[in-house]
Amino acid sequence: MKPIAAAFFFLSTLCASRFVVIAGNGQGQGESEGSNTAAAAGEVNMKLLGQACQHSPRKDLCIESLEKDSNSKGADLIGLAYIAVRLAAAMAADVDEHMRSLLMHNATSLDPVIQQGLADCVEHYSDANDQLDDCTAAISASKFKDVEVWVNVAISDADFCDNSLKGQESVMVEKNKAFRLLCNNILSIIKVLPAEK
């Protein structure tokens, strides 16, 4: 993993943990958005996951990916947004690493067209990672419109990668699809967050 990706992973995990609701933390008597008895007990709030994922094209996969992340236990919507960004960034880093490995280990045997397509994909996924880095700061500043713009640019980067490899059957098509789904999870959560002030 590149140092910048490792640093982003650490910082996004740290930011996400900031929003975890811990039992007995002094929240009000009533239920607030993003917390309930299950969340206070450190369990995943399935109702909140359903709310967060309601706009995702694959609600089931959105809920599943967030539920599997240990940081989602007790997380509110903002915490879930950080988790979703971290998951998408991890996928982008995985895709980037896979493409670089293909280029490095098959430099002499790859068709020049495929080599160029992979090189283009590396460039696009590097850009996508930059966009996702910006999302973390934007969430911290409650600039949700900015998050939406940057996530859409990251999705476009995956689309450009697909176009660079058009006509080539490869694992990259599935990885790009998975990355787009994770990015759509971010967009789903952003849609249910309170409007910017």
* pTM (two decimals): 0.75
* Cα separation, 183 vs 154, whole angstroms: 8
CATH of the domain at 76: 1.20.140.40
Please report the pLDDT score of residue 42 as a whole number.
67
Asked if residue 197 is part of any domain, the answer here is no
pLDDT in tens, 106-157: 877 888 888 888 899 999 999 999 999 999 999 999 999 999 999 999 999 9
Helix (H, G, I), strand (E, B) or coil at 115: helix
* Token reading at 163: 């176009």
The percent of residues in the chain predicted with pLDDT above 70, rounded, is 77
Asked if residue 90 is part of any domain, the answer here is yes
Does 16 have pLDDT greater than 90? Answer: no
Asked if residue 159 is part of any domain, the answer here is yes
Please report the pLDDT score of residue 79 as a whole number.
93
* Cα separation, 98 vs 93, whole angstroms: 8
Does 56 have pLDDT greater than 50? Answer: yes
Q: Per mean pLDDT, which range of 16-25, 69-78, 165-174 is the poorest?
A: 16-25
Give me the number of domains the chain comprises.
Answer: 1
* Token reading at 51: 């709310």
Helix (H, G, I), strand (E, B) or coil at 20: strand
Residues 180-193 have a mean pLDDT of 95
* Token reading at 94: 């995985």
Residue given tokens 């709030």 in the structure block? 45
Q: How far is CA 8 from CA 108, 127, 128, 139, 186, in A?
A: 33, 14, 13, 14, 16
Q: Which domain holds residue 121?
A: 3-192
